[in-house]
Amino acid sequence: MMQKDIKRLSLILLFAPFALWIFLLIVLPHLGMFYISVREKVGPRMYEFGLGNYINFFAEPIYWNTLIRTGSMSLLVTALALLLGFPIAYYIAKIAGNRTRGALFLMCLIPLWVSDLIRAFGWILLLRETGIISSSLQWAGVINTPIEFLYNDAAVIMGLVYTVILFMIVPLVSTLDGMDNSMIEAGYNLGGNGPTVLRRIIIPYAMPGIVSGCIVVFMLTAGSYLTPILLGGKNSSWFTEQIYDQFITRYNWESGAAFGFLLLAFTSLVVWGGLKLSGQTLNSTVAKS
Amino acid sequence: MIMKLAMAGLLATTVMAVVPAQAETLRLLTWGSYAPDELVKKFEEKYPDITVEVTFSNNEEMIAKLRATGGAGFDLAQPSHDRIYAVQQEYNIYKPLDLSKINTDVMQDKLLEGVKANTTIDGEVYAVPHQWGTSGLMANKTMAPDVKAWGDLCDPQYKGKTSMRLKRTILLGMAFDMGEDPFAAYADLDKYQSILDKVADKLIACKDNLKAYWKGGDDLSAMMMSGEIVASETWDSTAYKLYGENKDIVFVPPKTGALAWIDTFAIPRKGEADDAAYKWINFVLEPENVKIMSASTGAIAAVEGGKDLLPDDKKAAVNAAFTDADIDNLKFFANIPAGVEDMEGKTLEKIKAATGSE
């Protein structure tokens, strides 16, 4: 009896910090945001309950276009991060020796030691019209007039992939690490060639890592603010910028809060859709890897 | 041992809790460069019992911060003069000033009266002027000698070599350029909306001509200094700084008049160190301190003879930019009535989202 109580107490104590964190920093602010988002402003310091802020979003094509644009560019970033991250992760987990593995991991980590802002400025120095790439191409005689690489969507995507790729590599390495090499050997012994082994053995095995990496990367990208703002050009709108504008420039917290919820709903929907399409569940992926 | 440590910890926390209560803290919410270290140090030497904590921000973020707390967390804020009246009515974040505690004699009458007129609600004054400056154009004389008006940023001969900030300033400037008076239209918001629509069409058509929208003084400076752009909308202080490094880059007051702003002193409603705030206001308006401040900000103090208190290089830049006629032609930002931010915000979104001819 006594033992049981102690067990329960320790469980509660272990759980308490997590519960407090979730409740105070996640649930409570979201409730506050939700409350603001269903207030409609009818005059100075006068508010009414209503869904007007949400209706406004759907009535104004600029808003949902930006959201769709943000969503599709985030998907592209996720796909590129997977494409680039998978070989790196495979090399680290399966091919590299024990000693080089640590060094390689470290090299992937190093860019994260400086802040997003500094990394964005690094890209700006490289890509701008009078920047390093443009001027060295000129010096090498490849081009005659300076080229502007900055201020377009390609720069945004490149910057974002660079920022998030680590979050793809880490879960992939940990799942691939757990894979027995003899499975790959067996695949070859049974007459499979490289692509077949990759498609039928490695990818299915790595699926939990792939899915959880994709979820994290997609969420991070869709919610990022600095990189799209700094590297983007005249036409590159990003949904988080829209939210910032509503809150700060337009003093319109009500619709900013509604936009925040719409972004949350939209990204959740995309993740849910992705899980359904790939036949995975949260339990078999994120919770596992 | 553990007991001792705990005691020491307890003591440490009590001591830490007591110290700030003895020494007053002045929490200043202001613009980057508006609280140079040199001046803060000098102030703390003069008033050893006051420590100054500075938070750098801009108009919109200042208001958002104060709104979030109902005017708590800061003891002195410096929004522009047009951001007091409607904001106070809507969010109630400032408290009335006690003018008897402020050395208003040193302030330039015209600016003081202007700010007072703009920020008086129910007979109470909510702000006094600190510094003023303008928004206008900046051009590299050798490469873009003909830039004289807001509309020249859309001149095809500078295609891909101009820039602007996608904020309300350019909306207003372009409206003046098209022969409208947006400030007069504040009284009739339908009229203002029609002006905004015209301006939006013009700026969307102009988008193709721009290299990029600048977002802060740093990226604007970098584009201008490297010659990637030859003309841009700008704050005068940014242009003055560049003039110090390259005499070809000058501030150009647009022919319809540069847009003038006055940054003010206002005390947040739940400020806790009013006396320290008044001391800071009077302190930074003393002539020798104005010099330090203006050297850092590049803006002109709202005191009598403020222009003469600029450091020599900035004075030269101002003289190269402004004639007396230009000064007479200044358009001071009018009070922003409630609702206008939303209309302007929508217009800016429309411009940003338009893909133009690209």
| Separation of alpha carbons A243 and A255, rounded Å | 8
B109 is written with which tokens? 């009458």
Instruction: Express as a percent the part of chain B with pLDDT over 90.
Output: 70
Residue B63, C-beta contacts closer than 8 angstroms, at least 6 positions apart: A251, B79, B83, B87, B91, B93
Interface of B with A (CB under 8 A): 60-61, 63-64, 67, 87, 89-92, 167, 207, 210-213, 215, 219, 222, 226-228, 338, 341-342, 345, 348-350, 352-356, 358
CA torsion through residues B124, B126, B131, B133, sign: negative
Q: What is the pLDDT of residue A287?
A: 67
- With respect to residue A131, please indicate whether it lies within any of the assigned structural domains: yes
Q: What is the pLDDT of residue A143?
A: 87
Start-to-end CA distance of chain B, whole Å, equals: 73
Q: If we measure between CA atoms, which residue out of B283, B312, B325, B237 comes closest to residue B47?
A: B283
Backbone angles phi, psi at B26, to 5 degrees: -105, 110
Strand pairing class (B76-77; A39-43) = unpaired
**CB-CB: which of A66, A124, A247 is closest to B64?**
A247
**CB-CB: which of B226, B345, B352 is closest to A250?**
B345
Which of the pair, B19 or A178, is modelled with greater confidence? A178
Q: Are B99 and B78 in contact (CB under 8 A)?
A: no
Q: Where are the domains of chain B?
A: 16-132+261-319, 134-260+331-353
| Separation of alpha carbons B261 and A99, rounded Å | 62
Predicted confidence band of residue B252 (pLDDT cuts 50, 70, 90): very high
- With respect to residue A264, please indicate whether it lies within any of the assigned structural domains: yes
Q: What is the pLDDT of residue A1?
A: 62
Instruction: Give the mutation candidate from B84, B169, B342 for the A interface (greatest A CB count, under 10 A).
Output: B342
Interface of A with B (CB under 8 A): 44-45, 62, 65-66, 124, 128-130, 148, 150-151, 229-230, 233-235, 237, 242, 245-253
| Separation of alpha carbons B130 and B297, rounded Å | 12
Contacting residues of A for B227, CB less than 8 Å apart: 130
Bridge-partner residues for B95, per DSSP? B267
Comparing alpha-carbon positions, the chain B residue that sits nearest to A65 is B353
Q: Are B75 and B277 in contact (CB under 8 A)?
A: yes
pLDDT in tens, A203-255: 999 998 999 999 999 999 999 999 999 998 888 889 999 999 899 888 889 99
The structural domain count of chain A equals 1
Backbone angles phi, psi at B255, to 5 degrees: -65, -20
Which DSSP category does B299 fall into? P
Amino acid at A277: L
Which of the pair, A202 or A285, is modelled with greater confidence? A202
Q: Are B61 and A248 in contact (CB under 8 A)?
A: yes
User: Taking 70 as the threshold, does the pLDDT of residue B129 lie above it?
Assistant: yes
Q: What is the pLDDT of residue B9?
A: 47
pLDDT in tens, A127-177: 998 899 999 999 998 888 888 899 999 999 999 999 999 999 999 999 998
Q: If we measure between CA atoms, which residue out of B172, B165, B167, B91 comes closest to residue B126?
A: B91
Give me the mean pLDDT over the B342-347 stretch.
91
At the topology level, CATH places domain B16-132+261-319 in D-Maltodextrin-Binding Protein; domain 2 (3.40.190)
pLDDT in tens, B185-240: 999 999 999 999 999 999 999 999 999 999 888 889 999 999 999 999 999 989 99
Inter-chain CB proximity A235 and B227 less than 8 Å: no
Contacting residues of A for B348, CB less than 8 Å apart: 245, 249
- With respect to residue A46, please indicate whether it lies within any of the assigned structural domains: yes
Predicted confidence band of residue B20 (pLDDT cuts 50, 70, 90): very low
Contacting residues of A for B341, CB less than 8 Å apart: 249-252
Predicted confidence band of residue B146 (pLDDT cuts 50, 70, 90): very high
- With respect to residue A136, please indicate whether it lies within any of the assigned structural domains: yes
Q: Are B290 and B284 in contact (CB under 8 A)?
A: yes
**In B207-334, alpha helices (H):** 217-225, 236-245, 274-284, 287-297, 312-321, 324-328
Inter-chain CB proximity B341 and A245 less than 8 Å: no
Q: What is the pLDDT of residue A288?
A: 62
Instruction: Give the mutation candidate from B59, B88, B171, B228 for the A interface (greatest A CB count, under 10 A).
Output: B228
Q: Are A34 and A257 in contact (CB under 8 A)?
A: yes
CA–CA distance from B12 to each of A165, B1, B8, B9 (Å)? Answer: 44, 16, 6, 5
Start-to-end CA distance of chain A, whole Å, equals: 36
Q: Record the pTM.
A: 0.84
Inter-chain CB proximity A234 and B210 less than 8 Å: yes
Inter-chain CB proximity A65 and B353 less than 8 Å: yes
| Separation of alpha carbons A216 and A167, rounded Å | 7
Inter-chain CB proximity B226 and A45 less than 8 Å: no
pLDDT in tens, A85-103: 999 999 999 888 888 888 9
**CB-CB: which of B167, B227, B352 is closest to A237?**
B352
Instruction: Give the mutation candidate from B204, B352, B355 for the A interface (greatest A CB count, under 10 A).
Output: B352
- With respect to residue A15, please indicate whether it lies within any of the assigned structural domains: no
Evaluate whether B16-132+261-319 and B134-260+331-353 have a shared fold.
Answer: yes
Q: Are A217 and A80 in contact (CB under 8 A)?
A: no
pLDDT in tens, B41-68: 999 999 999 999 999 998 989 999 999 9
How many angstroms away from the CA of A40 is the closest CA of chain B? 14
Give me the mean pLDDT over the A25-48 stretch.
87
Check: complex ipTM more than 0.85: no
> How many other CB atoms sit within 10 Å of the CB of residue A95?
10
User: Taking 80 as the threshold, does the pLDDT of residue B329 lie above it?
Assistant: yes
User: Taking 90 as the threshold, does the pLDDT of residue B99 lie above it?
Assistant: yes
- With respect to residue A110, please indicate whether it lies within any of the assigned structural domains: yes
At the topology level, CATH places domain B134-260+331-353 in D-Maltodextrin-Binding Protein; domain 2 (3.40.190)
- Enclosing domain of residue A147: 38-278
Q: What is the pLDDT of residue B11?
A: 45
Amino acid at B163: S
> How many other CB atoms sit within 10 Å of the CB of residue A274?
16
Strand pairing class (B128-140; B259-265) = antiparallel
CB pairs below 8 Å between A and B: how many?
73
Cα-based angle B227, B228, B229 (whole degrees, multiple of 5): 85
Predicted confidence band of residue B17 (pLDDT cuts 50, 70, 90): very low
Instruction: Express as a percent the part of chain A with pLDDT over 70.
Output: 98
Residue B237, C-beta contacts closer than 8 angstroms, at least 6 positions apart: B133, B297, B298, B299
Q: If we measure between CA atoms, which residue out of B207, B177, B171 comes closest to residue B192?
A: B171
Comparing alpha-carbon positions, the chain B residue that sits nearest to A253 is B64
| Separation of alpha carbons B265 and B102, rounded Å | 11
Residue A285, C-beta contacts closer than 8 angstroms, at least 6 positions apart: A207, A208, A209, A211, A212, A215, A275
Inter-chain CB proximity B345 and A246 less than 8 Å: yes
- With respect to residue A254, please indicate whether it lies within any of the assigned structural domains: yes
- E strand segments, chain A: 39-43, 46-49
- With respect to residue A272, please indicate whether it lies within any of the assigned structural domains: yes
What CATH number should be reported for the domain holding residue A198? 1.10.3720.10
Q: Are A213 and A171 in contact (CB under 8 A)?
A: yes
User: Taking 80 as the threshold, does the pLDDT of residue A44 lie above it?
Assistant: no
Q: What is the pLDDT of residue A214?
A: 94
CA–CA distance from A220 to each of A41, A154, A217, B223 (Å)? Answer: 32, 18, 5, 30
pLDDT in tens, B270-319: 999 999 999 999 999 999 999 999 988 888 999 988 888 888 888 888 88
